[in-house]
Chain A
Amino acid sequence: MNNGFGKKIRNFIFDNTVPLMFVLICAVCIPLSGFSFSYLLNEIVTRMGRNIFLILCLLIPIMAGMGLNFGMTLGAMAGEIALILVSDWQIWGIPGVVLAMILSIPISVLLGYFCGKILNMAKGREMITSYIISFFMNGIYQLIVLYMMGPIIPIKHSSIKLPRGYGIRNTVSLLNMRQCLDNLLAVRIGGVKIPVLTFMIIGVLCLFIIWFRKTKLGQDMRAVGQDMNVARDAGIQVERTRIISMIMSTVLAGFGMVIYLQNMGNIATYSSHSQIGMFCIAALLVGGASVDKASIGNVFLGVILFHTMFIVAPKAGAQITGDSMIGEYFRVFVSYGVITVSLIMYETKKRKNKSLVGQQLAQAQKEEAKAHE
């Protein structure tokens, strides 16, 4: 009985190493940072509204067995291009956000299709391939934004255009749509601003994901994710299903980026998208997800833990070492570190399971041979 309980605890700790590690880090850093509870809560709620939609878009490729979609950067680029155009056309407020979301769809679909096609050629190496695709696409993005916007794609306003006459400035202001989603229907409880509309949109996406899992396409994706060969034998169009999952993820990433940037209030034209994939994936992994399994719960827990660490780390670092930069380095180191640890743990678990299956098979064969003797 005691042994069983101990084993359960050991398994729980082994299965949730990353979230537990982060709970520990937060438990140490929060008192050290000296932030008040309401400030911390306010910051976390703001960051939840800003990031959850983006992270939710990672769930669909995981369902289809394509791992962590580093290619979500492509959707982020689509969202940024749409926002630059909307900003130049002077469409403000909620209509601007809606228009940017719709405009991002065709770009995201195109990029998602391209990414899905390539990932189908690199089965089993989806994550590294999508990571490199995002670098490649960043070059194309820069070509479009730096050279084609102005002479080929008309840009009217000098506040957006570079003084040389073409290309987009480093920063594009979204002042006229800043936090328009967050402020509409916002509620203040005990000094904490709750962006109700943003959370409603996130809620709708969560419901969509839950519903989608039960649909024929969702079931197909799960089947493909479990075993491609079995799924193919069952008559599922594996390649098509994988491409659809990539397109869906990219489109949702585009929407997520629009929500993210309307909260920030400006676009860092050449850098906003570059780290977004890394931080979203790190947050999802912190929530206890793995390369082949992730849930909505992981997203919420991940955002809370990861961003709590993000908020408190610089101040806690300053308290411990006297230099706030240590905290800055710490959070970047942790972001990359958590991805590495998760990937190693996933691979270790996979190999362990494989060897366990091998051992069981050998044992069964031995017993069968004994029985024959």
Chain B
Amino acid sequence: MNKTRSLLFRLGTVLILVGICVCMMIVGRGHTVYLDNKKIEVDGVEYAPPYKITVFVGGEQVAKLNARDRGMATCIGQNFEMTLKIMKEKGGEETTETYRLKLPYQLDGIVVNLPAYLAGLPEETWMSEFVSLATETSAEDEELPGGDEMDEFEMGDF
């Protein structure tokens, strides 16, 4: 009886920990959202970028995008909320609106084309995966344990 209770208690603890892990994986999934204020052409229709968009996330200004600019924001979780202050034309009036996006779990970097998004186009037209083109450092740059060095005592082969 005592053994069964102990086993059940242990199983329960493991299950709770697994549950917390799953929750943390969902709640804590980080994304980098790249916000493009660039011209886009969909089915032959061209969507021009506004003159200036100021992006606020969590009450903080993260980007000020003129036409053809790209800004960046980070987001923990799948719900991304941003406030956009949009100036359609130079010297024009600014309108402020808050938008909520649902980010796909599996993507690390997500590019959002703001003109297409603001035009209310389907998701696949304004959302795409960010692919980094950064060049990788060469293998020689990394000094790894057991590489050139002989051993911790530097006695080498004797």
A-to-B contact residues, CB < 8 Å: 89-96, 98-99, 102-103, 105, 142, 146, 157-158, 162-164, 167, 169-170, 176, 270
Contacts and interface: CB of A to CB of B under 8 A. Distances in A.
Given A95-B25, A99-B24, A146-B144, 4 more contacts: A90-B31, A102-B17, A142-B146, A167-B144
B136 to A, nearest CB: 5
Nearest to B17: A102
Given A142-B145, A162-B139, A167-B144, A98 B30 contact: no
Contacts of B138: 163
A98 B20 CA distance: 9
Nearest to A93: B76
Nearest to A105: B17
A99 B19 CA distance: 11
Nearest to B141: A163
B74 A176 contact: yes
Contacts of B25: 89, 91, 95, 99
B101 interface: no
A95 B28 contact: yes
B108 A96 contact: no
A91 B29 contact: yes
A-B CB proximity, top 5 nearest: A95-B28, A92-B30, A95-B24, A99-B24, A91-B28
Tell which of B74, B137, B144, B146 has the most Cβ of chain A within 10 Å.
Answer: B144
Contact of B30 (A93, A164, A169, A170): A93
B27 interface: yes
A95, A99, A102, A162: most-surrounded residue (chain B CB, <10 A): A95
A102 B23 CA distance: 12
Interface residues of B: mostly helix, strand, loop or mixed? mixed
A109 to B, nearest CB: 11
B137 A163 contact: yes
Contacts of B146: 142, 146
Interface of B: 17, 20-21, 23-25, 27-31, 74, 76, 108, 136-139, 142-146
A99 B17 CA distance: 9
B85 to A, nearest CB: 27
A90 B108 contact: yes
B76 A95 contact: yes
A176 B29 CA distance: 11
Contacts of A270: 144-145
A96 B20 CA distance: 11
B72 to A, nearest CB: 13
Given A142-B145, A176-B74, A270-B145, A90 B20 contact: no
Contacts of A105: 17
A163 B139 contact: yes
Nearest to B31: A90
A28 to B, nearest CB: 34
B104 to A, nearest CB: 13
A164 B28 contact: no
13 contacts: A91-B28, A91-B29, A93-B76, A96-B24, A98-B24, A98-B28, A146-B145, A162-B144, A163-B139, A167-B144, A170-B143, A270-B144, A270-B145
A158 B137 CA distance: 10
A148 to B, nearest CB: 14
B11 to A, nearest CB: 15
Given A98-B24, A102-B21, A105-B17, A158 B136 contact: yes
A94 B17 contact: no
A169 B141 CA distance: 10
Nearest to A89: B25
A146 B31 CA distance: 27
Contacts of B143: 170
A158 B144 CA distance: 16
Nearest to A161: B136
Interface centre among B28, B136, B142 (most CB of A within 10 A): B28
Contacts of A94: 28
Contacts of B29: 89-92
A169 B145 contact: no
A92 B28 contact: yes
Nearest to B18: A102
Given A176-B74, A270-B145, A163 B28 contact: no
A102 B25 CA distance: 12
A104 to B, nearest CB: 11
B144 to A, nearest CB: 7
Contacts of B24: 91, 95-96, 98-99, 102
